[in-house]
Amino acid sequence: MNRTLLFTVLLAASGVAVAHDHDDHGPGHSIDKVNGSITAEAGQSYGDLSTVNGGIDLERGAKVEDVETVNGGIEAEDDVGARSVSTVNGGIRFGQRARVDGDVETVNGGIFLDRGSNVRSDVSTVNGAIGLVDTDLGGGIETVNGDVTVGVGSHVKGGIHVEKPNKNGFSIGWGKPKVPRIVIGPNAVVEGNLVFEREVVLYVHASARIGTVTGATAKRYSGATPPAE
């Protein structure tokens, strides 16, 4: 998790609010809000998009720089480009052929990247599932409590790391913890190490290729989907 998102989390937890609300109202500009959603219009280019309380929508073909919110989801249509994407309380969902030059990360929420997408760095959550379909990931996948699906035809170059719960301040819970389900699908490739610091269920398709596994035993399957638990 990068320093920008960590700072945002601490800012939100401390109850300190940004004292301004700046919106240049149009393509080509940065948009910075405290309260309210942001929409990047189809086919237009923007600078940074930032809000504290609100979601961010990226319409088809929009090009943006850093996309950040605290309390809200980030939804992107097809052919969207961004430098980095982060939220604290909300999911992140991209359509087909997304291009992200940096990280895609959230604390409480899932992440989904559809066919033909390319992320040059890491994808990470604390509490939320991660799903890739025919996606190239230049970095790795990190989570604490989330399920992970490296779907059909996806390529992850930086491995997978599932951290031990309560290693940081965002994963405190009660009762018996849910066991994350990790699926490496048909024709998927995960380079690097797959490191599991906690119990997981790991399914690897017979056509998939993976690196060294630590902390789990891979269960091979050959159908379209792994066995139901």
**Confidence at residue 25, expressed as pLDDT on a 0 to 100 scale:** 54
Q: Measured between alpha carbons, how far is 57 from 76 in angstroms, rounded to an integer?
A: 6
**Confidence at residue 149, expressed as pLDDT on a 0 to 100 scale:** 98
Q: Is the pLDDT of residue 100 over 90?
A: yes
Q: Measured between alpha carbons, how far is 120 from 99 in angstroms, rounded to an integer?
A: 8
Q: What tokens were used for 211?
A: 């690196």
Q: Measured between alpha carbons, how far is 141 from 158 in angstroms, rounded to an integer?
A: 7
Contact in structure between 83 and 65 (CB atoms under 8 Å)? yes
**Confidence at residue 173, expressed as pLDDT on a 0 to 100 scale:** 52
The 10s digit of each residue's pLDDT in 41-98 is 999 999 999 999 999 999 999 999 999 999 999 999 999 999 999 999 999 999 999 9
Sequence-distant (6+) residues with CB within 8 A of 14 are none
* 3 state DSSP class of 14: helix
Q: Is the pLDDT of residue 18 over 90?
A: no
Q: Is the pLDDT of residue 213 over 80?
A: yes
Contact in structure between 47 and 59 (CB atoms under 8 Å)? no
**Confidence at residue 119, expressed as pLDDT on a 0 to 100 scale:** 98
Q: Measured between alpha carbons, how far is 203 from 220 in angstroms, rounded to an integer?
A: 6
The 10s digit of each residue's pLDDT in 19-34 is 344 455 556 799 999 9
Closest by CA to 34, choosing from 14, 12, 58, 65, is 12
Contact in structure between 29 and 48 (CB atoms under 8 Å)? no
Residue 228 pLDDT level (bands cut at 50, 70, 90): confident
Comparing 37-41, 115-119, 124-128, 221-225, the range with the smallest average pLDDT is 221-225
**Confidence at residue 117, expressed as pLDDT on a 0 to 100 scale:** 98
Closest by CA to 132, choosing from 98, 87, 179, is 98
